[in-house]
Amino acid sequence: MIIGVIGAMIEEIEPLVKDLNLKRKLQKANMEFNEGSLWGNEVVVVKSGIGKVNAAVCTQILIDEFKVDAVINVGVAGGVGNNVYPGDVVIGESLVQHDMDSTAFGERRGQIPRLDTFDFKCDENLVLKAKRACEKMNNSKHFVGRIVTGDQFIADTDKIKWLNEEFDALACEMEGGSVAQVCYLNNIPFVVIRSASDNANNGAHMDYEKFKPIAVNNSVNILKNMLEVM
Ligand code: ADE
């Protein structure tokens, strides 16, 4: 089993690449794919870059070129759920792209027109493994629920309220929903694991810098605990 591991930013994958027993590096679409073994598993670790297009291209390359059997997207997120605070972990149960808007045609916000699903469901088995990994680390709270994705860094109290009410979202970020869509189209199991770096509110960009290292550390540790038992 080969697992593709995607982080959007160098900070999110650096600790993984450091521990990776590297077999091969491949450059494609301005991304560096690091193939090797990590904590007992065959993996390809890659920095996708930020946003949905980068994440989609990256995921499709993992599937086509590396024949990955599953994809795990790790990183930071804005906390949207009422009790989700910086440092807390959100394991995606499903993903929706909150910036997809065809309401002019009567579609629900987030619905991709002419696609046979509203949300993209994470693989139940991977969710369970992520949950078990979280339970082993008793220094942070974890939640399982919906994560929403858009090409926007959310730093607006009204917008987080809306994301929570409209989508029942626990966290917002900028790649997961796109990784999810590509995996859905290719029938590849996936899970998105995010740790909150901020509360997506008016001071989000400041909290983000402060809490990012803690959040990155959390998502890396969960992945480690997960891979060790896979
Ligand atoms: N990633 C981390 N914090 C975020 C936020 N507030 N909005 C979007 N993506 C994020």
Cα–Cα dist 149/110, whole Å: 10
Pairing of strands 70-79, 120-121: unpaired
Query: For 76-85, 134-143, 177-186, 191-200, which range has the lowest pLDDT when averaged over its residues?
Result: 134-143
For residue 123, the CA-to-ligand 1 centroid distance in Å is 23
CA pair distance 172, 100, nearest whole angstrom: 14
Give me the residues paired with residue 43 across strands: 3, 36
- d(Cα 210, Cα 207) in Å, to the nearest integer? 5
Question: 90 CB less than 6 Å from ligand 1?
Answer: no
Q: How far is the CA of 189 from the centre of ligand 1 (A)?
A: 24
Hey, which of 148, 151, 174 would you mutate to test ligand 1's pocket, going by the most ligand atoms within 8 Å of its Cβ?
174
CATH number of the domain located at residue range(s) 2-227 in this protein: 3.40.50.1580
The closest residue, in CA terms, to atom 1 on ligand 1 is: 77
Ligand 1 neighbourhood includes 198 CB (under 6 angstroms): yes
Q: Is 189 helix (H, G, I), strand (E, B) or coil?
A: coil
DSSP for residue 103: G
- Please state, in angstroms and rounded to a whole number, the distance separating the CA atoms of residues 152 and 203: 15
Atom of ligand 1 nearest to the CA of 198: 3
Mean predicted lDDT score pLDDT of the chain: 96
The domain spans of the chain are 2-227
pTM of the model: 0.97
**pLDDT tens for each residue of 17-31:** 999 999 999 999 999
pLDDT of residue 140: 78
